[in-house]
Amino acid sequence: MSSEINTPRLDWAGLGLLYLFFWYFSGVLQTLLLSTAGIPGFRSVFFMSFIWLAPVLLFPRWTRQLTAIIGIILWIPSVISLGYWGIYGNEFSQSVVFIMFETNREEAKEYLSQYVSISLFLGIIFYTLVAWLLWRRLRPVYLPRFYASSLAGIVLLTNFGAPYLACLTGNASFYSATEKLHGRMAPAAPWQFFIAYAQYNNQLNAVRKLLDENLSLPPLKNLVDTNGDKPRTLVLVIGESTTNARMSFCGYPRKTTPRLDALKESEELLVFCNVIASRPYTIEALQHSLSFANSEEPDRFFTEPNLMNLMKQAGYKTFWLTNHQTMSSRNILLTVFSRQADEARYLNQTRVQNETVPDEVVFEPFSEILSDPAPKKFIVIHLMGTHAKYARRYPEMYKKFTGRDHVPKVLSNNRAEVYNSYDNAVLYNDFVVSSLIDIFSKSQSYGFLLYFSDHGEDVYHTPPHQVLGRDEKQPTPDMFTIPFVLWMSPAWKENHSSDLSAFTERKYSNAHFIHTWSDLAGLHYDRFQPELSLVNPEFKTHKRWIGEQGRLRDFDQLFPKH
């Protein structure tokens, strides 16, 4: 204890070792996840690991015992998380909890037994051995009481208190500050399970409330299915952040949609290039497209049946197949749709939206669903499409656009790279959508497949080539112009003889999509408005509103050339 007299001499190496020990249990996994999940989790863990220094600084005499106890508390969840990573390749998250409670236990067990391997087991042993060796080298760090308490206070306050600073200044609510804190704690052991479960529970309550409200809605009046009882399958593929301004089938000079181009040329595919989204954000846009809500009457989403209700009422067995993250407060409405479906499959189990799960994961479950014996099937497939980070959306072999051809000259090399990665993501999306058409076609199903993207994205495309992403307050055309394509099975085409190719130039807001879908599916009811159907002879040009309620703007007035 002689070192603590007078001036405090900090044993930096000892302190560093202690920190390394605590960091180890979350840091190893976050380091492994760096290439897929990126820096945020790594950063959170870097800061969160400091909190464990507090007890050992306050009670240095008990360093060995304290570190042993904390070590075990951190080790157990970290091994589970690492094992999970070893098997599934991503992080344990609220989405995983959701899937655990939603899917068939037997299936999960089978999957697990298939992947628990000797190398995973040896990896865990090695990981544990390193932790134990680290622990053996730990030594107490003695500081005068005042310094020790101050340091302990600082690490605890900065980690747990910082998010609440914004509350004091009135810039955030207590709730949002707590959400932020949970976000920081989520990647770190041992919090991941508690946070994951709490987040799951919160979302589920919100989902239940919306579902209850939806259940109490009256059905659509006088619904008639003009296709009668003939067995059929209708597929709706919803893309993500893809603008038609970057697709060669709508005139983009780079060949980013070669497979769909070919289908268009052989007249198997109808391509509509003048369709826009009403909002540049997933939930808001889909809320309009998949219900009777629109820019002027957004509340109709809650007060009237939605597309799922309509299809179920029409006697379809409904399926929801998604590669989107399942559980986040942003995605509640998507979860509601999936819960309304008779069957839902969740293929993305990540904690944050932009992690890597290429869209081709939907192929196999799609094929399985197509062979379901139900006579009338409605299948929704929600893709990750070309969501940022674009370079994470496609496998290496789709990295085709790398040079400067057709890249705006003003872009720096870094921006040109982002520009190129978006085109590569569009190219991969072309493979995904055309493959879905191919799978559907080969299944000999009677029906059609329709693909649109929820909204667009501007990736340095609109002059002066400064904008990346989407912002409704500073709109550019690329944020709204979306791909909209229709593939019909040969027999369906024959039985529905009206030539739709005359309508492909129509200017349409996808906020009214439910009318187009109803029309294509042959569903008529009191609410149905033929003048809002893109494929109806009675179609009338309408104002294409964009923006939020109260701040609506006319897209065609803003961008007369589109």
**Binding residues for Zn ion (CB under 5 A):** 240, 282, 454
Q: Please return the burial class of 36, using the count of CB atoms within 10 Å of its CB with bins 0-12, 13-18 and 19+.
A: middle
C-beta of residue 94 within 8 angstroms of C-beta of residue 328: yes
Residue whose pair of structure tokens reads 């309304």 in the numeric block:
340
Query: What would you report as the CA-atom Rg of the chain, rounded to the nearest whole angstrom?
Result: 27
Closest CB 384 distance from Zn ion, rounded Å: 9
Rounded Cα gap, residues 380 and 372, in angstroms: 14
Smallest CA-to-CA distance from 381 within 523, 240, 271 is with 240
Closest CB 345 distance from Zn ion, rounded Å: 20
C-beta of residue 339 within 8 angstroms of C-beta of residue 210: no
Closest CB 512 distance from Zn ion, rounded Å: 19
Closest CB 433 distance from Zn ion, rounded Å: 16
Sort residue 10 into left (φ over 0), alpha (ψ -120 to 50) or beta.
Answer: beta
CB nearer to Zn ion: give 223 or 388: 388
Closest CB 470 distance from Zn ion, rounded Å: 8
Phi (first) and psi of residue 385, to 5 degrees: 55, -125
**432 CB neighbour count, 10 Å cutoff:** 26
Closest CB 385 distance from Zn ion, rounded Å: 8
Rounded Cα gap, residues 37 and 85, in angstroms: 12
CB nearer to Zn ion: give 282 or 291: 282
CB nearer to Zn ion: give 49 or 282: 282
Closest CB 458 distance from Zn ion, rounded Å: 13
CB nearer to Zn ion: give 44 or 509: 509
Closest CB 132 distance from Zn ion, rounded Å: 46
Closest CB 323 distance from Zn ion, rounded Å: 12
- According to DSSP, the residues that pair with 381 across neighbouring strands are 237, 321
- Provide the CB-side half-sphere exposure for 539 (13 A, CA): 21
CB nearer to Zn ion: give 113 or 474: 474
| Secondary structure class of 317 (helix, strand, coil) | strand
Residue number closest to Zn ion, CB atom: 282
The DSSP-derived string for 467-489 is -EE--TTS--GGGTEEEEEEEE-
CB nearer to Zn ion: give 423 or 454: 454
CB nearer to Zn ion: give 60 or 239: 239
Rounded Cα gap, residues 184 and 192, in angstroms: 10
Closest CB 452 distance from Zn ion, rounded Å: 11
CB nearer to Zn ion: give 423 or 457: 457
CB nearer to Zn ion: give 354 or 443: 354
Closest CB 240 distance from Zn ion, rounded Å: 5
Rounded Cα gap, residues 24 and 134, in angstroms: 9
- Provide the CB-side half-sphere exposure for 491 (13 A, CA): 11
**502 CB neighbour count, 10 Å cutoff:** 10
What is the DSSP pairing of strand 545-546 with strand 343-348? unpaired
CB nearer to Zn ion: give 56 or 479: 479
Dihedral (CA of 536, 539, 545, 550) sign = negative
C-beta of residue 315 within 8 angstroms of C-beta of residue 227: no
CB nearer to Zn ion: give 240 or 359: 240
